[in-house]
Amino acid sequence: MRIALGLEYDGSGFCGWQSQAGGGAVQDAVESALSIVADAPTRVVCAGRTDAGVHALAQVVHFDTEAVRPDTAWVRGVNAHLPASVAVRWAQPVSSEFHARFSARGRRYRYVLLNRAERPALLSRRVGWFHRPLDADAMASAASLLLGEHDFSAFRAIECQAKSPVKALRRADVVRHGNLLVFDFEASAFLHHMVRNIVGALVYVGKGAHPPAWVGELLAGRDRARAAPTFEACGLYFAAVDYDAVWQLKVGADDTALILP
């Protein structure tokens, strides 16, 4: 039997999603809890890996098991064995043809940036921070230049293992909510550090170091060395995964919501 789960987690205390030899990954915690409930070693496949310090609002995973359990056991039972920073939101049986990663049609990321002179305390490790004033309108204008299918080599980490740097960015929004700037990105797939590298470039535009057109020039130049530094991980959220309706997943609209103070 194949089961799909929806997860949310605070990535602050983890080395990232992917299991490491020394432990400390979100995957390690999830597989350990599932193995207890299933009473057998259980491996999971996720929709999209996250780096150290990156959070998830709606990660989706699947696993195969011979254990027969009610759906509530895969939610409440697994949550009882997870650290407080990780929670299963929902669980449901799916076809063996469903694959959390390969069945996904799109992924959405959200970056939350605190823009004020003082560093965060209550929001520490939950948001990025920039102390100088930022022009959100200029940043939004620059972000719009990235929409469409492009070679995103200028925003690709050196260690990225993607076969191609060409991605189709369907959404790139920048909206201010008081002292918070919220960036929303949607694409079929993303390169390693792509969102954080884009945010870094948009911050350069927002602080007046470059005009919005500079981001378009970076994109066309395909040279990572000319772009801004990678922005910090703590403000990044894996926000949602899009699947065809045929899979009938119970992903609710609130899975993409982030409570803003």
Radius of gyration of the chain (CA): 19
- Give the C-alpha distances (Å, rounded to integers) separating 200 from 79, 83, 155: 35, 31, 9
51 part of the active site: yes
The dihedral of CA 99, 106, 19, 75: what is its sign?
negative
> ∠ at Cα 33 (31, 38), nearest 5°?
85
> ∠ at Cα 149 (151, 105), nearest 5°?
115
What's the rounded Cα separation, in Å, for the pair 186 and 169? 6
Q: Which residue has the tokens 């960015």?
A: 169
Token pair in block for residue 206 = 């927002």
Selected catalytic residue, list 28, 51, 71, 151: 51
What's the rounded Cα separation, in Å, for the pair 198 and 203? 9
Catalytic residues: 51
